[in-house]
Chain A
Amino acid sequence: MLARIITGLSAGAAYALVAVGVVLIFKCTRVLSIAQGEIGAFGFFIGLRWAARGIPGLGWHPARFTTLVIAVVVGAVLGGLIERIVIRPLVDRPPLDALIATLGIALFLALLEKELFGTATQFAPSPVGEWKVTVLGATLIAPRIVALAAAAAVALAVFLFFSRTRFGLAVRATTGDSTVAQLMGVRVNRVYRFAWVTAGALAGLAAALLGPAFGGLTPFAMTSFSLRALAGAVIGGLDSIWGAIVGSLLVGVLEAVVGGQFTTPGTAELAVLLLVIGTLVARPQGLLGTEGAT
């Protein structure tokens, strides 16, 4: 049981990386992006293609690490492009329009991946080595450990960014009231771009870690990962970064625990689904979200 919870937490940590991006985008631009998973996966596939294969016999080769770097960079660039080309023109339109646009982007990227890289599962050597750690009966492979560490690092970075930096303050001002922020000289378009670029980079990081942890990725596989991240963000509250992290961990744990108890396929998904709908109906703003924010 404890082992399952720990495995679940490591998966949840990877979802959290995507979910933090989803929330960042939502807080800043009021857009719910369901393309984050595919943005990350696209980066991951490009990274795989370009990264040199590791040297046999060595557990880890620096070249493999470039997969991760490329995934992050491609994710960030894609995020920035999408913000500029697709999202900005939709500013004054109903929120569902932007949602549909991100849906189209998700579909487009997934199909493009299929064209470029085929439908076979892309086996990914771990970008962070092949070591393992056993904690309380749970054996975690390196990418899962790094996902946990990365989620913790992101949480810390988010905290420092928002509390200590000038630009972090500008982002908070923009999410509080973009008109007031503008009047005070904050260039809100930069804030919007920042949100999308950061979210893209986090999605790339998540995909680079999730790919190896889940034994490879196929096009569209990230969509189902990003659905879990989305579930985490919604449960935690779409306008709360901490909520996104808590919600994602909850989703990961729930999935691992329920999936372990019941063998019927789909039971874990059903549990997550019920949690999402239950949260939305009982507390539409999510666990840590602000009332009326969504």
Chain B
Amino acid sequence: MPASRVATVVAVVATIGGSLLLGDVKLSILVGVIVTAIAALGLDVLVARTGELSLAHAAFLGVGAFTAINVGSRGAPWPVAILVAVATTAAAATIAGLPSLRIHGLQVAITTLAFQEFADVFLFTRTDVTAAGRTWERPAFLRTDVRLYLFALSLLTLVLIVRHRVAVTKAGRTFLAVRDIEDRARVFGVEPGPSKLLAYAISGAIVGLGGSLFALKAGSISAKDPFLLLESLQLVAILVVGGTGSAAGIVTASVLVKGLPQFISTIPFTHLKPDRIVPITSAGLLVVAVVAAPEGIGGVYRAAGRLLDRLTGARRRERPEPRPHVVEAGADGATMLPHVERPLSLRMPVPALLEAHDVRVEYGGVTALDGVSLEVRRGEIVGLIGANGAGKSTFFNAVSGLAPASGSIRFRGVELVGRRASIRSALGTSRTFQDLGLVRAESVQENVLLAQTWLARYAAPVGILGLGGTVRTERELRKRGAIALEVFGLDHLARERVGALPYGTMRIVEIAAAVAAGPDLLLLDEATAGLGPEESHELGDRFLAIRDELGLTLVIVEHHVPLVARVCDYAYCLESGVLIAEGKPLDVTADPRVVESFLGRAGTASSGADR
């Protein structure tokens, strides 16, 4: 176990143990802190995982608290009251999240601001909503402050477990993918819309739990301050100061911002006015944190953990490069992808794997593809060349469903045109992107898992709860991913953050992820872009190995034509959305129209002079 983890456990145990020695008054303060921490952790699920900001989380906290009191005070058992509160808040948050299906970022933030304002002036001014005059009696086993505190701690633990489950299952991965590479993620089988709404629902459910705890502690609510706009802003402050994505940082920030002022005021003879100093300081800190320390307190913790591990030697620096050649897929690899006997250099008399007929793509009046027909046969490496803007990537988009195409694209005899992008990976296509379809903030391993989303055939909420064999499915996917990484010589980098790797390595990671998804057909878009000459050459060897050893069929879009000549069995050349040549690579590159397309008229003139 790394020293940083030992230190974390010791610190948590000591903090909880120590806190139990405090008197009742202080424990009661701590319960309030935990309410805030839970709300901030719920907000963090949204902010850290989907990148959307909510300025309405205090309102959601209110929805939870008022619902719990309304239900609890009418005699429902406490678990029912809490469950209803959680469900209601989750529903409210999902509704507030609906606009995010259409709009993004700043605009979503504004709609949540509007939602908070609506709650402030409309919802929370109604006495039937706020359960005015009603009291929810605490259940007998929670009558003392120590017990309530322990109960609050167990709810906090539950929230941390849920966050962890979100992180390690399909839900969390798809959230991040939608955040960073929304459109591209669809080719992995991700459905952006439901994924976003689920994030709002989970975030709301967690806040609803916090609201229930608030209601349990208070019994009845007269002042609605904790649920107003100012408090929403305060939650954002806690989140940013604590550091998005860091549970430890957020809990610490909650203690500092919410607990500290009240603790100080319990000290006798103090002249400090912490309830006035702390909010203004936290607002100031928020600005400082955004500008100067975007990782917040969590960043400090992480840095300390890394330092501790380095000092105790638990962490080695790996060379951030893949081992040079594709390892032959062994017994495990063979179970992953059937080994097909081939190498071929002629166009084989085998049926086409992919048949495109008269494919057209138009973007707002511009025709990007104008009736392209081509075919790819099983076991081939097919090159797609052409100058900038010729329509090569558009063709890939048409195949993978990211561009609206007409005509016919049949894959293994199945018509793809008109089908959603998210199911094409299930049919057996997989692809990479010119500008990388990777979530850079995540580890290599997580990215490989993301590419296998279509294989994670369970509902995301079920996965969070760990029901119905999802744990086993995840274990299998991880194993699959590990094999893919091993095949590409990347296993030593599994835990590295993708964004920290050299560009060339990221390219290989993306290809490994695409292969892990188990496709028959792999579309590689400018895989050598940004690579040096040696790296490009090596990548060519990998293309051959993917075909020969893993039995995949490849289509590569490539600017570096010599590479196409070296590895491809067949090549097509596009110009302005039209196919201008096809054949064996050397014939295609000698075609005068291709030469002109690449070099302009001068190029053809000079080649004419040569002969």
Chain A residues at the B interface, C-beta cutoff of 8 Å: 32, 34, 85-86, 89-90, 93-101, 103-108, 111-112, 114-115, 220, 223-224, 227, 230-231, 234, 238, 265-267, 269-270, 272-273, 276-277, 280-281, 284, 294
For B280, what are the chain A residues with a Cβ–Cβ distance below 8 Å? 108, 111-112, 115
Kindly state whether residue B115 has any CB partner on chain A within 8 Å: yes
A-B contact count (CB 8 A): 122
For A114, what are the chain B residues with a Cβ–Cβ distance below 8 Å? 276
| CA of A220 to CA of B234, assembled, Å | 14
Contact check, A227 vs B109: say whether CB atoms are below 8 A apart.
Answer: no
Apart from A265-B125, A276-B110: 14 A-B pairs, beta carbons within 8 A: A32-B109, A89-B292, A115-B280, A227-B113, A230-B113, A266-B121, A269-B117, A273-B118, A276-B114, A277-B114, A280-B107, A280-B110, A280-B111, A284-B107
Stretch at the interface among B140-148, B282-290, B390-398: B282-290
> 1/0 per position for B116-130, CB-CB distance to A under 8 A?
011001110100000
**CB-CB under 8 A for A95 and B111, given A104-B237, A269-B117:** no
Contact check, A231 vs B51: say whether CB atoms are below 8 A apart.
Answer: no
| CA of A112 to CA of B284, assembled, Å | 10
B198-237, CB < 8 A from A: 229-230, 233-234, 236-237
Kindly state whether residue B240 has any CB partner on chain A within 8 Å: yes
Enumerate 15 A-B pairs (CB-CB under 8 Å) in ascending A order: A32-B106, A34-B113, A90-B290, A93-B294, A94-B51, A95-B105, A96-B51, A104-B237, A105-B287, A108-B286, A269-B117, A269-B118, A270-B121, A284-B103, A294-B106
Contact check, B291 vs A89: say whether CB atoms are below 8 A apart.
Answer: yes
The residue of chain B having its C-beta at the shortest distance from the C-beta of A103 within the complex is B233
Kindly state whether residue B279 has any CB partner on chain A within 8 Å: yes
| CA of A266 to CA of B117, assembled, Å | 9
For A272, what are the chain B residues with a Cβ–Cβ distance below 8 Å? 114
Contact check, B122 vs A267: say whether CB atoms are below 8 A apart.
Answer: yes
Contact check, A108 vs B283: say whether CB atoms are below 8 A apart.
Answer: yes
Chain B residues at the A interface, C-beta cutoff of 8 Å: 51, 53, 55, 99, 102-103, 105-107, 109-111, 113-115, 117-118, 121-123, 125, 229-230, 233-234, 236-237, 240, 276, 279-280, 283-284, 286-287, 290-292, 294
Contact check, B283 vs A104: say whether CB atoms are below 8 A apart.
Answer: yes
| CA of A292 to CA of B290, assembled, Å | 26
Contact check, B114 vs A107: say whether CB atoms are below 8 A apart.
Answer: no
For A86, what are the chain B residues with a Cβ–Cβ distance below 8 Å? 287, 290-291
Out of B233, B283, B286, B291, name the residue touching A90 (CB < 8 Å): B291
For B110, what are the chain A residues with a Cβ–Cβ distance below 8 Å? 32, 230, 234, 276, 280
For B109, what are the chain A residues with a Cβ–Cβ distance below 8 Å? 32, 96, 99
The residue of chain B having its C-beta at the shortest distance from the C-beta of A224 within the complex is B117
Contact check, A270 vs B118: say whether CB atoms are below 8 A apart.
Answer: yes
Contact check, A266 vs B102: say whether CB atoms are below 8 A apart.
Answer: no
Out of B125, B284, B292, name the residue touching A104 (CB < 8 Å): B284
The residue of chain A having its C-beta at the shortest distance from the C-beta of B284 within the complex is A108
- Rounded to whole Å, the gap between the CB of A82 and the closest CB of chain B is 9
- Rounded to whole Å, the gap between the CB of A33 and the closest CB of chain B is 11
The residue of chain A having its C-beta at the shortest distance from the C-beta of B123 within the complex is A266
Out of B106, B290, B291, name the residue touching A95 (CB < 8 Å): B106
The residue of chain A having its C-beta at the shortest distance from the C-beta of B113 within the complex is A227
For A106, what are the chain B residues with a Cβ–Cβ distance below 8 Å? 233
For A94, what are the chain B residues with a Cβ–Cβ distance below 8 Å? 51, 105
The residue of chain B having its C-beta at the shortest distance from the C-beta of A109 within the complex is B283
Contact check, B107 vs A99: say whether CB atoms are below 8 A apart.
Answer: no
| CA of A155 to CA of B47, assembled, Å | 38
- Rounded to whole Å, the gap between the CB of B447 and the closest CB of chain A is 20
The residue of chain A having its C-beta at the shortest distance from the C-beta of B286 within the complex is A104
For A265, what are the chain B residues with a Cβ–Cβ distance below 8 Å? 121-122, 125
| CA of A79 to CA of B512, assembled, Å | 50
For A93, what are the chain B residues with a Cβ–Cβ distance below 8 Å? 294
| CA of A136 to CA of B216, assembled, Å | 55
- Rounded to whole Å, the gap between the CB of B110 and the closest CB of chain A is 6
For B284, what are the chain A residues with a Cβ–Cβ distance below 8 Å? 104, 108
**CB-CB under 8 A for A100 and B236, given A112-B280, A277-B111:** yes
For A273, what are the chain B residues with a Cβ–Cβ distance below 8 Å? 114-115, 117-118
- The 5 A-B pairs at the shortest CB distance, nearest first, are namely A266-B122, A104-B286, A266-B121, A107-B283, A108-B283
For B51, what are the chain A residues with a Cβ–Cβ distance below 8 Å? 94, 96
- Rounded to whole Å, the gap between the CB of B333 and the closest CB of chain A is 39
| CA of A216 to CA of B149, assembled, Å | 44
**CB-CB under 8 A for A115 and B276, given A96-B106, A100-B240, A227-B117:** yes
Out of A85, A103, A224, A227, name the residue touching B286 (CB < 8 Å): A103
| CA of A32 to CA of B111, assembled, Å | 13
| CA of A105 to CA of B284, assembled, Å | 7
The residue of chain B having its C-beta at the shortest distance from the C-beta of A35 within the complex is B287
Contact check, B102 vs A284: say whether CB atoms are below 8 A apart.
Answer: yes
For A32, what are the chain B residues with a Cβ–Cβ distance below 8 Å? 106, 109-110
- Rounded to whole Å, the gap between the CB of A14 and the closest CB of chain B is 18
| CA of A106 to CA of B236, assembled, Å | 13
For B283, what are the chain A residues with a Cβ–Cβ distance below 8 Å? 104, 107-108, 111
For B102, what are the chain A residues with a Cβ–Cβ distance below 8 Å? 280-281, 284
For B122, what are the chain A residues with a Cβ–Cβ distance below 8 Å? 265-267, 269-270
| CA of A108 to CA of B107, assembled, Å | 23
Out of A90, A266, A281, name the residue touching B99 (CB < 8 Å): A281
For B118, what are the chain A residues with a Cβ–Cβ distance below 8 Å? 266, 269-270, 273
Residue among B103, B234, B283, B292 facing the most chain A CB atoms (10 A cut-off): B283
Out of A115, A269, A281, name the residue touching B121 (CB < 8 Å): A269
| CA of A234 to CA of B108, assembled, Å | 11
The residue of chain A having its C-beta at the shortest distance from the C-beta of B287 within the complex is A104
Contact check, A111 vs B113: say whether CB atoms are below 8 A apart.
Answer: no
| CA of A99 to CA of B115, assembled, Å | 17
For B240, what are the chain A residues with a Cβ–Cβ distance below 8 Å? 100, 104
For A105, what are the chain B residues with a Cβ–Cβ distance below 8 Å? 287
| CA of A106 to CA of B118, assembled, Å | 20
Contact check, B117 vs A99: say whether CB atoms are below 8 A apart.
Answer: no
Contact check, A107 vs B111: say whether CB atoms are below 8 A apart.
Answer: no
Contact check, A107 vs B115: say whether CB atoms are below 8 A apart.
Answer: no
Contact check, B107 vs A97: say whether CB atoms are below 8 A apart.
Answer: no
For B292, what are the chain A residues with a Cβ–Cβ distance below 8 Å? 89
Out of A100, A115, A266, name the residue touching B53 (CB < 8 Å): A100
- Rounded to whole Å, the gap between the CB of B207 and the closest CB of chain A is 19
**CB-CB under 8 A for A276 and B106, given A96-B53, A107-B283, A266-B118:** no
The residue of chain B having its C-beta at the shortest distance from the C-beta of A234 within the complex is B110
**CB-CB under 8 A for A96 and B279, given A103-B286, A266-B125, A270-B118:** no
For A277, what are the chain B residues with a Cβ–Cβ distance below 8 Å? 99, 111, 114
Out of A108, A220, A231, A266, name the residue touching B114 (CB < 8 Å): A231
| CA of A234 to CA of B240, assembled, Å | 25
| CA of A220 to CA of B114, assembled, Å | 16
The residue of chain B having its C-beta at the shortest distance from the C-beta of A227 within the complex is B117
For B106, what are the chain A residues with a Cβ–Cβ distance below 8 Å? 32, 95-96, 99, 238, 294
The residue of chain A having its C-beta at the shortest distance from the C-beta of B279 within the complex is A111
For A111, what are the chain B residues with a Cβ–Cβ distance below 8 Å? 279-280, 283
For B55, what are the chain A residues with a Cβ–Cβ distance below 8 Å? 103
- Rounded to whole Å, the gap between the CB of B154 and the closest CB of chain A is 32
**CB-CB under 8 A for A107 and B286, given A269-B122, A280-B111, A294-B106:** yes
Contact check, A234 vs B287: say whether CB atoms are below 8 A apart.
Answer: no
| CA of A95 to CA of B109, assembled, Å | 11
For B111, what are the chain A residues with a Cβ–Cβ distance below 8 Å? 276-277, 280
Contact check, A107 vs B121: say whether CB atoms are below 8 A apart.
Answer: no
| CA of A294 to CA of B103, assembled, Å | 9
Residue among A96, A103, A115 facing the most chain B CB atoms (10 A cut-off): A103
For B107, what are the chain A residues with a Cβ–Cβ distance below 8 Å? 234, 280, 284, 294
